[in-house]
Amino acid sequence: MADAAAALLALAATLAVYAAARGLQRRLKSVWLHPVLVSIMVLIAALRVLGIDYEEYDRGGRILTFFLGPAVVALGLPLARQMEEIGRRGRALLLSLLAGAAIGTLSATLVAALLGASGPVVRSLAPRAVTTPIAIGIAERVGGLPALSAVVAIFTGVLGAVIGPPLLRAAGVRSRTAFGLAMGAAAHGVGTARAAEEGEVEAASSGLAIGLMGVFTAVLAPLVLALLERLGWLM
């Protein structure tokens, strides 16, 4: 009974902090006040100040984690609505996302390996370019640390959601499809939530990017790690 009460309290606190952070961003309209980023910082500070162990807090966090999978699947709805528009550029989309998955996997693992990171750390970085539930699954498959992969995926998503839109606009990206693809491929679920604020085309292409990046990375990650092992850069 006490465990259930603690889980509900942690869940309620998380939702309350996120709602407050979302309201703060709407009021001040600052890209650096992204609700996910603010919520993470506030919750970490609260746990440290109150002396609450993460394991105790995570009893409620697991409830939210459960909904990550269904949330990713739900992205299929805007994709289905925009299938005709996206279908016209099918080949270009596939090639660009395949290149993104290859670069995302190789860049993270290669840099970590050359800097002398341990094998489990390098393997944990292989799914850096995919959304959290997929990253956890890939990390378990390739011998990485699922918790580390989740942290890296979340950090990458938040960072991409914060700096992605202004960076894309500064680079002259005007295509709604390209905007969504970039956000989904680079910033995963958090980036897709940001892309959805722009419109349904952006949400659909971003959702497509999440799914295909997951498929491509699941195939490429073991191949990249095997290559690094053959070169003697990964133990």
Query: For 181-218, how does the pLDDT look when each residue is reduced to its tens digit (9 = 90+)?
Result: 999 999 988 898 889 889 888 988 998 898 899 999 99
Decide: 198 and 78 in contact? Cβ < 8 Å: no
Assigned domain for 235 exists: no
Q: Which of 24, 39, 66 is the last residue of a domain?
A: 66
Considering the domain architecture, whether residues 133 and 191 belong to the same structural domain is answered as yes
Considering the domain architecture, whether residues 149 and 48 belong to the same structural domain is answered as no
Assigned domain for 8 exists: yes
Q: 212 CB contacts (<8 Å, ≥6 apart)?
A: 93, 94, 97, 98, 101
Considering the domain architecture, whether residues 72 and 61 belong to the same structural domain is answered as no
- H-helix or E-strand spanning residue 76: helix 76-81
Assigned domain for 140 exists: yes
CA dihedral 150, 136, 194, 175 (to 10 degrees): 120
Decide: 131 and 153 in contact? Cβ < 8 Å: yes
Residue 48 has pLDDT above 90, yes or no: yes
The structure's pTM equals 0.82
Containing domain of residue 22, as a range?
A: 1-66
Query: CA torsion sign, 153 to 120 to 118 to 223?
Result: negative
Average confidence (pLDDT) over 130-159: 91
- pLDDT band of 226, cuts 50, 70, 90: very high
Assigned domain for 171 exists: yes
Considering the domain architecture, whether residues 97 and 135 belong to the same structural domain is answered as yes
Among 215, 210, 205, residue whose Cα is nearest residue 89: 205
Question: What is the distance between the alpha carbons of residues 47 and 44, in angstroms, rounded to a whole number?
Answer: 5
- Look at the chain and report how many structural domains it folds into: 2
Considering the domain architecture, whether residues 72 and 165 belong to the same structural domain is answered as yes
Considering the domain architecture, whether residues 95 and 49 belong to the same structural domain is answered as no
Assigned domain for 151 exists: yes
Instruction: Give the range among 23-37, 42-56, 59-73, 142-156 with minimum mean pLDDT.
Output: 59-73
Q: Which of 29, 49, 66 is the last residue of a domain?
A: 66
